[in-house]
Homo-oligomer: A and B are copies of this chain.
């Protein structure tokens, strides 16, 4: 199967053109990691580039540079800055071209000369006639580049913005599909995030040795929207597609529904090497995941989440299960998918409230594990709410990456993974309380996070700005930040009933964004203070 990972964005150009600073700004804008071949050479050599030139001559430096370039060119989805002379070597140039897009940061010769003139750490200028050197190279850069950007006189961020614009103009970013790895040793897998990738899903399926058919499990209304495309993609991947549907609704996440699916799979001859393909929101990925975990003691699972909640949370991490009348998710298994394919184009079909509810889990991912994502959400709230595809790819990929990092630390929720329950202790209590039946899960989590921020403050763990940051980002996304909460006595039994209950009430709190701590034994006055702060005046 073809990998559709995002290409590298390789910055070339003269020394002094600002490749490093622009590269870092660009990496932040594109949510891509950054590296610099000169820095790689220095790290390996344990000396500066100038010292390498002095001790090993230009030949020694070029040898080291080739090694760094080879390594950088083996990656995909990175912003890479290379030294001014790197692309003069045809082997380097070819490898970099094969790895992605080359962007030439052009600057007028005079400006360059003025900027780097007397810098002794720029070794070549110390020896050769700069003007001659630059003229010769300029031709090479222009011939090699996919995109030329003039940055002279602009701030670093403005140059980075021009690069993004140029790449988009060339159609080099729109096709960008992000790959997020969930690192779990031999059970590791990729989460692919892109726009329109469900239609070309054959390119994102994991290796499935011995598989001949695939059972797609979904709701009837989702089958109508998405199955024709998925069916085609599965057929092109050599898998006979079969469709099993069950009605939507949390009450369908039941043992009875699981049994109906198991039996239907047995009747249709689903073999142990054939994958189950879950197509839908959290109810589908939970139920289909459990069926896959237990049919024939486990068959491969591929998730195609279609809701925002499922794309950033439910479909990643291997938690599967069904509800009992006695409680939610009481029966299940940890069963990792072999791949997750998140097509943000599916989000277009979501009702507004469900989409916003999913955003609450994105905000949670940001507060727990990626504070930078919160800045992006606030800055781009309007475009996020318009579900702009390019932006949603960034948002979903970052939230998925945050979840993936936490899951990688603690696959079976024996400890660290509990931080993903941020905001959920109060949320579960509200969902169980008759007065709050109208709240969506995301709305309950939004209120739960504001409460947790106030609680962190009341406990002296966090400062006053934490709750403010919560309110700002949640309000920007149209999520509630307060509710007419009942007194503590009334809520307490519901808090205690939470599945995560263990040795008294436990809360995930933040010292600051990105620094979660699990706290137990919180005194009642602190709980009351936080409730009061979160309580809406009617």
Contact = CB atoms under 8 A, between A and B. Distances in A.
B330 A266 contact: yes
Contacts of A334: 297-298
A370 B338 CA distance: 38
A319 B255 CA distance: 21
B266 A255 contact: no
A456 to B, nearest CB: 26
A263 B327 CA distance: 9
Contact of A293 (B267, B330, B333): B333
Contact of A330 (B262, B324, B326, B333): B262
User: Of residues A271, A294, A321, which shows the largest number of chain B Cβ atoms within 10 Å of its Cβ?
Assistant: A294
A295 B413 CA distance: 15
Interface in A311-342: 319-321, 324-327, 329-334
A259 interface: yes
A323 to B, nearest CB: 10
A326 B267 CA distance: 7
A309 to B, nearest CB: 19
A95 B296 CA distance: 50
Given A255-B255, A267-B326, A326-B267, A262 B294 contact: no
A296 B326 CA distance: 12
A331 B293 CA distance: 9
A63 to B, nearest CB: 42
Contacts of A327: 266
Nearest to A266: B326
Contacts of A320: 297
A326 B263 CA distance: 7
A324 B266 contact: yes
A298 B333 CA distance: 7
A501 to B, nearest CB: 9
Kindly report how many copies of this chain are found in the complex they form together.
2
A137 to B, nearest CB: 55
A247 to B, nearest CB: 20
B296 A262 contact: no
Contacts of A262: 255, 324, 330-331
A329 B272 CA distance: 12
Interface size class of chain A, counting residues whose CB lies under 8 Å from the partner chain: 20 to 34
A296 B320 CA distance: 10
Contact of A332 (B258, B290, B297, B321): B297
A330 B294 CA distance: 8
Contacts of A297: 319-321, 329, 332-334, 412-413
A325 B263 contact: yes
A295 B330 contact: yes
Interface string A265-307: 0110001000000000000000000100111111000000000
A165 B334 CA distance: 52
A304 to B, nearest CB: 22
Interface in A85-142: none
Contacts of A266: 324, 326-327, 330
Contacts of A413: 297
A255 B262 CA distance: 10
A333 B298 CA distance: 7
Contacts of A271: 502
A266 B290 CA distance: 19
Contacts of A259: 255, 324
Contacts of A298: 333-334, 412
Contacts of A331: 262, 294-295
Contact of A333 (B324, B326, B333): B333
Interface string A242-265: 000000000000010011001100
Contacts of A329: 297
Contacts of A412: 297-298
30 contacts: A255-B255, A255-B258, A255-B262, A262-B324, A262-B330, A262-B331, A263-B324, A263-B325, A266-B324, A266-B326, A266-B327, A267-B326, A290-B294, A293-B333, A294-B294, A294-B331, A294-B333, A295-B331, A296-B330, A296-B332, A297-B319, A297-B320, A297-B321, A297-B333, A297-B334, A297-B412, A297-B413, A298-B333, A298-B334, A333-B333
Interface of A: 210, 255, 258-259, 262-263, 266-267, 271, 290, 293-298, 319-321, 324-327, 329-334, 412-413, 502
Considering the complex of A and B, which 3 residue pairs feature the smallest CB-CB distances, nearest first? A266-B326, A297-B332, A255-B259
Given A290-B294, A333-B333, 20 more contacts: A255-B258, A259-B324, A262-B330, A263-B324, A263-B326, A266-B324, A266-B326, A266-B327, A267-B326, A271-B502, A294-B332, A296-B330, A297-B320, A297-B321, A297-B329, A297-B332, A297-B334, A298-B333, A298-B334, A298-B412
